[in-house]
Amino acid sequence: MAAAPKKRPAASQGGPKPKKAHVDKAANKSDKKRSRPVTLPARDVPDASESDEDLEEEVEAFDEELDQDEYPMEVDDAPANKTPKDPAASREAHKTQKALQEQRRAAKPHSTLLADAKRVWCQANAKNVSSADRQKHIHDLMDVIRGKVKDIVFKHDASRIVQTVVKHGRQKERDEIAAELKGKYKELAQNKYSKFLVTKLIRLCPTHRQSILMEFQGHVLRLLLHREATSVLADAFELYTNAYERTLLVRDFYGKETALFTVTRGSEEDKERSRKGLSGVLEGADAERRKRVLSSMKDALTSIFNNSDKGAVTHAVVHRALWEYIVAVNDSPDEADGEKQLREIFEVCQDVLAELVHTKDGSRVVREFLARGSAKDRKQILKVLKPHVERMCLDDDAQLVLFTALDVIDDTKLVVKTLVPEMTAPANTLCQTPQGRRALLYLIVPRTRRHFTPAQIASLAETDEIRARTSKKTQEVREAEIRAGASEALVKWVKDKGGLLLRETGASLVVTEIMLFSESDKAAASETLLRAASAAYPCEDDHPHPIDLPHSSRLYKTLLQGGHFNRATSGVEKAPAWDARAFAQRFLETVGKEVCVAMCTEGETSGCFVIAELCEALKGDEGEGEGARETLKGWFGPAVVKKIEAGEAKGKTILLEKIAAL
């Protein structure tokens, strides 16, 4: 939402307009941002550089409008043809109005304190001020508000004064303010202005963080559904708290009985178990207590999902509670009862699953539903996720849901019809980021160690055991059908854009895998790549020749050798869907003698490695390809060989060996 236009208030309407706060690099060094739901339109996703001060500016602009409305200026609404009012009378009217404003302000509580604080605050919050001077002003400001912070912090202008002390002050001042506000944090979190202060104190006062969170105990569910407080809890859980502090926020989901018993009557052993989350709470619990705890969790989660318009369904704290609940019902001693509870919670949240996928726990929840669900459930999940597939491809956690869908759904025709086109259509956008490239690669070479980390593979493998029980197709058959369904669109993409893609480092990796492993007619795509390599060498314009780009030359080298080099076996693993000899023959015909020879003789080019692989691909007995081998051998006669020997090209030794072996 665009912020309202800012207006400069009169001097009598709340003091001087605060300047944009000087950025304290030390304080903001650890600033992080909460992960954004994939359901938000791209234009509404804040930039990575956005800070909470940007959000405060929107509030500030709104405040100034309120100030203007509180003391409206007189407006001359007389018709234009009437004689203007007497200027002297107008000045008197303004003086009277100004005096009235000052009387109203003076009648407000702590008016003198606020006036003094604003005077010092303008100096402390100045943009161009040295660190030493700023600390002096902060010290003076603290002297003014000390002991009165609780009284003034709920006022919109005074709240920003306190925030300035917290932001620019030293740890001593921060801790002093945090201690003075003890007992007020729940109320502060629900205030439109002071909620920013609570977030700052949670972030910058680690010694007080736990006591602040404890004040939310018993009120977490209500605060999550509160318009202002919900963002405070979300930021605290996802960005600033440690593992134990996060359990304090999740504990309210377990029910009042559990929270009260653990805090007031529980033994040290009970408190230690509570640190483990729901699994610790249920450890050693009898059937009745287990039933009460899970019932409380279900009711709490249902209230959140039934009020999805409040925004709490997107928060990681809710996703953590939901995942803990699902783990607990899956471990239920009564398998039938566990399946019933899983079905019930799925029906509660099935329409908002797209709001969960952007966090680690939320992603794991949706993946569990996919793995354990029926064919009808999986179809419903795909229906909900389909409008957001492109955004999901660009998110580290959300894309795991797509990969699991590709892994566990037996109805590959449905997947190829609904999911795969949504992943291949935005290929131009996806290939620009590592996350997007992984999404494209998973369609062709899922879980390959070349492109997926061991941690990612291990995370995806968490649903393999369930898949073995719920799926009828083998992994190999399913992967082949998905690959076949995605190949045509991806090969066409290479055909249309290959000349540009091979110049981009990341995109060239995707192109290589598509050419090696896709199952489609790749003749036209090969022609596109070879036309790019056939440009005159060296290039006359500022753009380097593809062979001079390390990633592009590696692409041609890999295609000519027919697969990737395996360090473990010290050999090339041939791709069954790729004909390296046919590509080598087309390379010879399309690139031509002049360019091939120039690649090996001009400057310190890497073309020698590519031509060496060309020689290796065409080397062999008489038969098919013999004419191409003889042609290549004729191009690199004694004169050319001597020129290569005298040059400084990289890999010339290897090339000379390959030429000799032709």
Give the Cβ contact number of residue 430 at 10 Å. 23
Query: What span, in angstroms and rounded, lies between the C-alpha atoms of 599 and 610?
Result: 9
% of the chain at pLDDT higher than 70: 83
How high does pLDDT run on average in the chain? 84
What's the pLDDT tens digit per position in 96-128? 777 666 656 555 556 677 777 888 888 888 888
The pTM of the full predicted model, rounded to 2 decimals, is: 0.84
pLDDT at residue 270 in the model: 59
- The Cα–Cα gap between 618 and 584 comes to 7
Which pLDDT value is given to residue 587? 94
Q: Which one has a higher pLDDT value, 118 or 558?
A: 558
Give yes or no for residue 351 having a pLDDT over 50.
yes
Average pLDDT over residues 596-624: 81
Confidence at residue 623, expressed as pLDDT on a 0 to 100 scale: 54
Instruction: Write down the pLDDT at residue 279.
Output: 85
Rounded CA gap, 355 and 313, in Å? 7
**What's the pLDDT at 491?**
97
User: DSSP characters for 124-151?
Assistant: HT-SS--HHHHHHHHHHHHHHHTTTHHH
User: Stretch 192-210: mean pLDDT, rounded?
Assistant: 94
With helix as H, strand as E and coil as C, how does 197-217 read? HHHHHHHHCHHHHHHHHHCCC
Q: Which of 47-51, 196-200, 271-275, 545-549 has the lowest mean pLDDT?
A: 47-51
In the predicted model, is pLDDT for residue 505 greater than 70? yes
Q: Which residue type occupies 141?
A: L
**% of the chain surpassing 90 pLDDT:** 58
Q: Is residue 376 scored above 70 in pLDDT? A: yes
Residue 291 has pLDDT above 80, yes or no: yes
| Token digits of residue 554 | 């590696």
254 Cα distance to chain centroid: 29
Amino acid at 187: E
Q: Please give the full DSSP string across 283-323, using - where no structure is assigned.
A: TT--HHHHHHHHHHHHHHHHHHHTTGGGSGGG-HHHHHHHH
Nearest to 490 by CA among 558, 421, 435: 421
Q: Say which DSSP state 394 is in.
A: T
Residue 83 has pLDDT above 90, yes or no: no
Q: Which two tokens stand for residue 139?
A: 């010290």
Closest CA to 365 of 340, 346, 386: 346
Residue 104: per-residue pLDDT:
62
Residue 607 host element (H or E) = helix 607-618
Give the highest mean pLDDT range of 237-246, 483-492, 604-613, 632-641: 483-492
What does the angle CA 151 – CA 66 – CA 231 come to, to the nearest 5 degrees?
A: 65
For 7-15, what is the mean pLDDT? 40
What's the pLDDT at 565?
92
Rounded to whole angstroms, the Cα distance separating 605 from 538 reads 10
pLDDT of residue 648: 79
> In Å, how far are 37, 41, 269, 405, 596 from 566, measured between CA atoms?
39, 42, 52, 30, 27
Angle (CA) 614 500 579, round 5°: 35
The confidence score (pLDDT) of residue 129 equals 86
Segment 573-592 shows an average pLDDT of 93
More confident residue, 151 or 492: 492
CA-closest candidate to residue 26, choices 232, 204, 206, 239: 204
Axis-axis angle for helices 156-168, 131-145 (nearest 10): 130
pLDDT digits 0-9 by tens, 341-350: 999 999 999 9
Work out the average pLDDT over 53-61.
45
Query: What DSSP string describes 408-439?
Result: H-S-HHHHHHHTHHHHHTTHHHHTTSHHHHHH
Structure-block tokens of residue 646: 């005298």
Instruction: Please say if the pLDDT value at position 299 is more than 60.
Output: yes
pLDDT attached to residue 540: 72
Say if residues 177 and 165 touch (Cβ distance below 8 Å): yes
pLDDT tens column, 634-654: 999 899 999 988 887 888 899
Does 484 have pLDDT greater than 60? yes
Of 35-44, 108-117, 146-155, 466-475, give the lowest mean pLDDT range. Answer: 108-117
Per-residue pLDDT for 48 more than 60?
no
Per-residue 3-state assignment (H helix, E strand, C coil) for 576-589? CCCCHHHHHHHHHH
Residue labelled with tokens 């920003």? 160
Cα R_g (the chain), whole angstroms: 34
Q: Is the dihedral of CA 107, 112, 115, 118 positive or negative?
A: negative
